[in-house]
């Protein structure tokens, strides 16, 4: 170590000072660099730790977003007001099966205990039991013979009219085409499996023929697609979402099945892109109302549309904080706040009841949420799950608060998420669409089937009736129109029956 106290040379001391200063600066830069690397390592470690916990939860925990051992976890059952259809849904009602009574007698008339013939029948006494039986699906070949007639007046030959068919001269009935389409798009049964089932039952049909039947049925009914879209646009709110689905093409790229829904029905459209222009096209003609989305940037064009409210989904916010609970217990407070908002929503029987509830109770909860978020903001790394959840809320705050000021805004976009289940279940079974045309056919049947569910209709019966109407040249009705008309007719009939029972006024 050099002793600078004994050094008198000023020039030497000056140069030594410069050298030491350079070394200090170099060391300061090195320390700063190490600090940055340490911060980066901390972020990486935090990210890996959160991903490991999330992976463990995904593999070993329940898939449902429930808080363990929490009494607040029990939400009220039943649909939220915005999810209720005016055409009551009967799909969960118990169906009465056909019954067949089989009676058994003693054939020889002898007592099975002692063999005596002194046996007499006990009137109206039975030992009863029940069993369920299945009648296998059978295919029937119908031979249509249309008689010919000659007229002595005009000397011409006429042929008796026959029944309606799916296509002129076609070998397969409308009912069979309906069965094939619903088996695939309602019950998610691939055409190859249907072909094998038919072969076991004695009918040998190629897969290409089966798809051709669904396509012919689509050609009969395609006007329903636009009718369903117009029904949905006639409501004061719309849910919209998209989900990836594979389709066969040289580039092996993914396509997307888009859905637009509300209690009046569901409309699906397949496109090879996730561009927001698809949503803009689907909403064409929607001049006033509210659109609920999940916050995807492709829907940002809604913010510039006049008379259109762009609302965001509280269920997505809850999901972000629920995931953050794995890494920070404080996130549970936000989950509790959001659960409280849902409890308030369940207090309303109808949409009109929400106005006072939201302006009173929900507004207080939102103020508590904003205060809590303000206290937590800035205390977490943006890359952490808690930081991401907080930023997710702050970036969409205006759209999330929109439901407070308009009772026609649903609190979440869960209806759109449920509507995606149908194509997603199909995707798990038949993997992909083989062409754009096949995707359009699938989107059409998803639209009809899910709209029937929304309006309490049996999809197979509805499709079969509309196809027969089309073959006869009669007018078609969308599921919403058809169900509304039936409900109106039933109500009118009940009113007439009740008025007939009431005593005449004096």
Distance CA 140, CA 121 (A): 43
Average pLDDT over residues 121-146: 85
Window from 67-71, 202-206, 284-288, 423-427 with minimum mean pLDDT:
67-71
pLDDT of 91 over the 70 cut: no
CB atoms within 10 A of CB 460: 17
Average pLDDT score over residue span 76-92: 71
Higher-confidence residue of 186 and 427: namely 186
Residue 3, both tokens: 């002793």
Residue 70, pLDDT above cutoff 70: no
Tell me what pLDDT residue 390 has. Answer: 93
Q: How far apart are CA 429 and CA 148, in angstroms?
A: 49
Under 8 Å between Cβ of 330 and 386? yes
Q: What is the mean pLDDT of residues 14-23?
A: 80
pLDDT higher than threshold 60 for residue 195: yes
SS3 sequence of 74-133: CCCCCCCHHHCCCCCCCCCCCCCCCCCCCCCCCCCCCCCCCCCCCCCCCCCCCCCCCCCC
Round to whole Å and give the CA distance between 388 and 324.
Answer: 9
Q: What is the pTM of this model?
A: 0.81
Q: How far is CA 489 from CA 88, 93, 421, 492, 496, in A?
A: 14, 21, 33, 5, 11
Return the residue matching tokens 């079969």.
Answer: 464
Say what the pLDDT of residue 63 is: 55
Q: Which residue has the higher pLDDT, 41 or 350?
A: 350
CA distances from 210 to 163, 178, 217 (A): 22, 11, 11
The CA angle 402-331-78, to the nearest 5 degrees, is 55
pLDDT of residue 363: 95
Lowest mean pLDDT among 31-40, 290-299, 458-467, 482-491: 31-40
Element containing residue 454 per DSSP (H, E): helix 436-454
The reported pLDDT for the residue numbered 427 is 83
Instruction: Assign 304 to helix, strand or coil.
Output: helix
How many whole angstroms separate alpha carbon 237 and alpha carbon 403?
11
Mean pLDDT for 152-165 is: 88
- For 72-76, 81-85, 155-159, 461-465, which range has the lowest pLDDT when averaged over its residues? 72-76
Of 75-79, 203-207, 291-295, 297-301, the poorest mean pLDDT is in: 75-79
Three-class DSSP category at 148 = strand
Residue 46 confidence (pLDDT): 64
Query: Over 80: is that where the pLDDT of 65 sits?
Result: no
Q: Locate tokens 């888009």: which residue?
A: 258
- Please determine, for residue 212, whether its predicted confidence score (pLDDT) is greater than 80: yes
CATH number of 223-313+413-476: 3.30.420.10
Percent of the chain with pLDDT over 70: 88
- Kindly report the average pLDDT of the chain as a whole number: 86
Q: Which residue has the higher pLDDT, 410 or 34?
A: 410
Q: Which of 421, 482, 463, 416 is nearest to 183 (CA)?
A: 463
Q: pLDDT tier at 71 (50, 70, 90 boundaries)?
A: very low
CA distance 403 to 400: 7
On whether the CB atoms of residues 449 and 182 are closer than 8 A, the answer is yes
Q: Which residue has the higher pLDDT, 281 or 132?
A: 281
Output the pLDDT for position 229.
97
Question: Given the structure tokens 């939102």, which residue do they identify?
Answer: 366
Torsion of CA 353, 354, 359, 364, to 10 degrees: 120
Pairing of strands 237-247, 254-262: antiparallel
Question: 470, 188 in Cβ contact below 8 A?
Answer: no
Confidence grade of residue 504 (pLDDT, cut at 50, 70, 90): low
Locate the domains of the chain by residue range.
223-313+413-476, 314-412
| Residue 328, both tokens | 């920070």
Interatomic CA distance for residues 341 and 347, integer angstroms: 10
**Average pLDDT, stretch 265-288?**
93
Where does the pLDDT of residue 1 fall: very low under 50, low under 70, confident under 90, or very high at 90 and above? low
Kindly indicate the confidence band of residue 497, based on its pLDDT and cuts at 50, 70 and 90: confident
pLDDT, mean of residues 45-64: 62
Residue 350 zone, left/alpha/beta (φ > 0; ψ -120 to 50; rest): beta
Whether 413 contacts 238, CB under 8 Å: no
* DSSP of 250-270: TT--EEEEEEEEETTEEEEEE
What average pLDDT score do residues 236-247 get? 91
Helices (H), 186-265: 191-200, 207-221, 223-233
Residues contacting 279, CB < 8 A, separation 6+: 240, 242, 258, 298, 299, 301
| Candidate from 64-68, 247-251, 281-285, 385-389 with smallest mean pLDDT | 64-68
Band (382; pLDDT cuts 50, 70, 90) = confident
List, for residues 306-349, the tens digit of each pLDDT value.
999 999 999 999 999 998 888 888 889 999 999 999 999 999 98
Element (H, E) at 416: helix 414-419
Whether the per-residue pLDDT at 98 is higher than 90: the answer is no
Enter the tokens of residue 419. Answer: 């509507």
Of 20-29, 87-96, 125-134, which gets the smallest average pLDDT? 87-96
* Tokens at 316, concatenated: 């997505």
Closest CA to 192 of 463, 431, 422, 423: 431
Structure confidence at residue 220 as a pLDDT band (50, 70, 90): very high
pLDDT on residue 184? 94
Flag whether pLDDT at 123 surpasses 70: yes
Q: What is the pLDDT of residue 67?
A: 64
pLDDT of amino acid 88: 64
Residue 255 CA, chain-centre distance (Å), reads 17
* 38, pLDDT greater than 80: no
């Amino acid at each position: 170590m050099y002793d600078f106290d004994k050094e008198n040379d000023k020039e030497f001391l000056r140069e030594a000072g410069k050298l030491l200063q350079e070394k200090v600066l170099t060391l300061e830069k090195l320390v700063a660099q190490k600090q940055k690397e340490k911060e980066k390592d901390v972020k990486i470690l935090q990210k890996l730790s959160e991903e490991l916990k999330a992976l463990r939860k995904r593999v070993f925990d329940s898939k449902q977003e429930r808080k363990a051992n929490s009494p607040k976890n029990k939400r009220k059952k039943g649909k939220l007001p915005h999810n209720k259809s005016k055409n009551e849904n009967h799909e969960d009602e118990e169906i009465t099966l056909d019954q067949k009574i089989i009676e058994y007698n003693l054939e020889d008339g002898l007592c099975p205990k002692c063999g005596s013939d002194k046996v007499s029948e006990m009137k109206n006494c039975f030992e009863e039991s029940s069993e369920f039986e299945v009648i296998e699906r059978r295919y029937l070949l119908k031979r249509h013979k249309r008689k010919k007639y000659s007229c002595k007046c005009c000397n011409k030959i006429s042929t008796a009219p026959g029944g309606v068919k799916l296509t002129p001269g076609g070998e397969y009935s409308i009912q069979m085409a309906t069965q094939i389409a619903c088996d695939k798009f309602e019950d998610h049964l691939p055409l190859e499996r249907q072909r094998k089932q038919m072969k076991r039952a004695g009918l040998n049909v190629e897969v290409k023929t089966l798809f051709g039947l669904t396509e012919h049925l689509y050609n009969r009914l395609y006007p329903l697609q636009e009718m369903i879209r117009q029904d949905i646009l006639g409501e004061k709110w719309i849910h919209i979402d998209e989900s990836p689905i594979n389709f066969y093409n040289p580039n092996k790229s993914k396509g997307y099945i888009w859905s637009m829904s509300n209690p009046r029905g569901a409309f699906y459209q397949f496109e090879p892109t996730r561009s927001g222009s698809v949503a803009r096209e689907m909403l064409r003609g929607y001049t006033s109302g509210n659109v609920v989305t999940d916050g995807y940037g492709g829907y940002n064009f809604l913010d510039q549309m006049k008379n259109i409210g762009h609302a965001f989904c509280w269920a997505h916010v809850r999901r972000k904080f629920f995931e953050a609970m794995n890494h920070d217990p404080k996130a549970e407070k936000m989950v509790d706040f959001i659960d409280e908002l849902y409890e308030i929503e369940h207090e309303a029987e109808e949409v009109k009841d929400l106005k006072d509830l939201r302006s009173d109770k929900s507004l207080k909860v939102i103020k508590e949420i904003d205060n809590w978020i303000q206290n937590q903001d800035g205390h977490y790394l943006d890359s952490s799950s808690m930081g991401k959840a907080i930023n997710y809320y702050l970036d969409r705050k205006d759209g999330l608060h929109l439901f407070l000021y308009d009772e026609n805004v649903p609190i979440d976009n869960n209806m759109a998420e449920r509507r995606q289940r149908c194509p997603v279940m199909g995707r798990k079974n038949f993997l992909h669409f083989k062409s754009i045309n096949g995707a359009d056919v699938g989107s059409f049947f998803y639209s009809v089937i899910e709209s029937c569910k929304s309006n309490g209709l049996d999809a197979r019966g509805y499709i079969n009736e509309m196809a027969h109407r089309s073959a006869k040249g009669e007018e078609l009705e969308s599921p919403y129109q058809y169900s509304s008309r039936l409900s109106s007719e039933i109500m009118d009939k009940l009113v007439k029956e009740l008025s007939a029972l009431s005593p005449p006024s004096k």
